[in-house]
Copies of this chain bind each other. A is one copy, B any other.
Amino acid sequence: MQARAGRTRRIILKAAADIFEARGYMGTSLQEVVALQDVSKGALYFHFPSKEQLAAAVIREHQGLLAELAAELRGHHPRAMWLLLAVSRRISELLCEDVMTRAGVRLACERDQIGDSAPSLLDDWSVTVAEILRDARDQGDLLPGVDPQDAADFIITAFAGLQRRGYPIRSKGDLHRRATTMWRLLLPGLTTPACTAELMKELG
């Protein structure tokens, strides 16, 4: 029965992500969530004590993801800036392919509407990016005068903005293009000219 329970939980989580992603937290009715995959309200309330917790669970699905990704990719990318770009690319891909990721990011941006039990995903990300930037500084790739934490804050905010509502992402390439634009604008202000030049080649 444990297996069935887990499966149901997952189904609900997925359905919730679908609706949350499309309508936002407040615009989502649990009615719609359960209707989407034809589970009962009872099932939902068994697995998640409240709407707030449901949203929190969707966000939590990605909590720590960026840190994991960083840890995982760190092996392949000794230099921190390369790592940062690699992680950025990976997240972009997820944003394109995976509804749950999009939902998580959207909900993270709507944290103030959800409540304190929602993990502050963007803060986590900010911390991780700040760490990477500190590594980059230690490796001499960062421009002097760049504060890693401030820069990280800006970067993740800007990045989260890439999937802005109203700018619907049409295709994988679409988001990729926006990310590329972002990095092309940011790198010269972030990294040393030599490093920038090399990274630009990566971006294509």
Given contacts A157-B158, A188-B189, A189-B185, contact A112 B165 (CB under 8 A): yes
Segment 68-127 of A: residues with Cβ below 8 Å from B: 109-113, 120, 122-123
Closest residue of B by beta carbon distance from A180:
B150
Q: Oligomeric state, in number of copies?
A: 4
Q: Which of B24, B25, B151 contacts A185 (CB 8 A)?
A: B151
The interface residues of chain B lying within 8 Å CB-to-CB of A178 are 150, 153-154
Segment 168-204 of A: residues with Cβ below 8 Å from B: 177-178, 181-182, 184-190
**What's the nearest-Cβ distance from chain B to residue A140, in Å?**
17
Q: Does A161 contact B (CB under 8 A)?
A: yes
Q: Does A27 contact B (CB under 8 A)?
A: yes
Q: Is the CB of A157 within 8 A of B151?
A: no
Closest residue of B by beta carbon distance from A123:
B166
Q: Does A10 contact B (CB under 8 A)?
A: no
**What's the nearest-Cβ distance from chain B to residue A63, in Å?**
15
**What's the nearest-Cβ distance from chain B to residue A183, in Å?**
9
Q: Which of B123, B165, B182, B188 contacts A110 (CB 8 A)?
A: B165
**What's the nearest-Cβ distance from chain B to residue A107, in Å?**
11
The interface residues of chain B lying within 8 Å CB-to-CB of A188 are 188-189
Centre residue among A123, A154, A167 by max chain B CB count within 10 A: A154
Q: Is the CB of B110 within 8 A of A24?
A: yes
By Cβ-Cβ distance, the 9 closest A-B pairs, closest first, are: A26-B26, A188-B188, A185-B189, A188-B189, A157-B161, A112-B165, A158-B158, A161-B161, A150-B181
* A–B pairs, 25, beta carbons within 8 Å: A23-B113, A24-B112, A24-B113, A26-B26, A26-B27, A26-B113, A112-B165, A112-B166, A123-B166, A150-B178, A153-B167, A153-B178, A153-B181, A154-B158, A154-B181, A154-B182, A157-B161, A157-B162, A158-B158, A160-B161, A161-B161, A185-B189, A185-B190, A187-B189, A189-B189
